[in-house]
Amino acid sequence: MIVGLFTELLSTGGVQRAGRHVAAVASAFGAQRGIPCRFLSLNDPQGLHPVRVGSCEFSVSGFARSKSQFALAALRAAGRKPSLVIALHPHLAPIIWAMRARSRKFRSIVFAHGIEVWQPLSWPRGAALRRADLVIGPSADTVQHLVSEQGVPAERVQRLAWGLDPEFEARLAAPYHASLPPSFPEHARTILTVGRWDPAERYKGADTLIAAFRRVLQSFPDAFLLLLGDGGDCPRLERLAHDLGVLERTRFLHGLTQDEFVACYENCDIFALPSAGEGFGFVFLEAMAYGKPVIGGAHGGTLDVIEDGVTGWLVPHGDIERLSSALESLLADPGRAREMGARGRERVLRTFSFEQFQTKLTQILNDVLFQKH
């Protein structure tokens, strides 16, 4: 049996999407080899929930944030002598450690994402992470932090980039013009950013982007800045836009349908997320897949995705002048912006497809289970 431990699968977000992708690949891997899978999710609602990713369907048991029930279910699963246990967050590594009290023969894989491994993990999380048979990070930056900050031996760390969501790819393969949200400005130059705007995630640089936008408006007064996403930091960002005098040209878009969300990618001119350190950045892939030039922070996993000067620009986090210059350069030269966007689309389809992710993870699962005992 393969056991999967997840923080959450059913809601939106990069970690959740990554978890669904891993579960889908593990489920298909198990089905092809007659190995059953048992997926447990700490934060999803209580009960058994069906999930579909592309052509793959699987079920996950939610435990409504009950750590005790989640841990008990994991220990019961360990009693069934699994061959592999996968944890989709380093904070779940201690559960694997506890499961070994009931079964020591299984192999283990822990996935890391980014910010959670920038600083040394507390005991027992760090100790449990170092005991995993394999730790996977989506970018060179996350892999480096796993080795330098967490002390995981380099030979037990591997990089595996995430891929586009199959449903997103299906939209690209059969494009249609989805309806834009009513507040999307028509016939205007638009700069788009996407994120979860929470106080804990200010490192994503939305405030820097708003400050840079004030400079952009001096040269391009018809431009608009669109911020897609929800979170507790939205009121502060709106006040900042007001104080800087750009609120009339700034739109905060919440509660969009999937069609509206995709339509914003399709109709924007530039995508920008000047983060201090993305673990990877699904949103860059999505914008590039729609042929948009992208601007990201010159830090973290973004370096694995954006080719500076080729598919977009990399700017130091917090550098308002460099960020505004990058935005202005793309707005001033639409031809170059289109060329960058076309190269970005080609790169995404060549390197970051779900099929490529599935092929690589399937090989990793095969190696861990059958070749590297």
Question: What pLDDT does 103 receive?
Answer: 87
Decide if pLDDT at 139 tops 50. Answer: yes
Mean pLDDT throughout 287-302? 95
Beta strands in the chain (DSSP E): 2-6, 37-41, 47-53, 56-62, 84-87, 107-111, 134-137, 157-159, 190-194, 224-228, 250-253, 270-273, 294-297, 312-315
Question: What pLDDT does 130 receive?
Answer: 97
Q: Which helix (H) or strand (E) holds 52?
A: strand 47-53
The encoded tokens of residue 92 equal 């779940």
Report the percentage of the chain scoring pLDDT > 90: 86
pLDDT tens track for 316-362 = 999 999 999 999 999 999 999 999 999 999 999 999 999 999 999 99
Please, what are the domains in the chain? 2-163+354-371 (3.40.50.2000), 168-351 (3.40.50.2000)
Question: What pLDDT does 171 receive?
Answer: 85
Mean pLDDT throughout 284-288? 96
Decide if pLDDT at 366 tops 50. Answer: yes
Question: What pLDDT does 372 receive?
Answer: 52
Decide if pLDDT at 257 tops 80. Answer: yes
Q: Name the pLDDT band for 373 (thresholds 50, 70, 90).
A: very low
202 burial via Cβ count (<10 Å: 0-12, 13-18, 19+): middle
Decide if pLDDT at 178 tops 80. Answer: no
Average pLDDT, the chain: 94
Q: Name the pLDDT band for 176 (thresholds 50, 70, 90).
A: low
Q: Name the pLDDT band for 255 (thresholds 50, 70, 90).
A: confident
Q: Name the pLDDT band for 194 (thresholds 50, 70, 90).
A: very high
* Cα 263-264-270 angle, rounded to 5 deg: 135
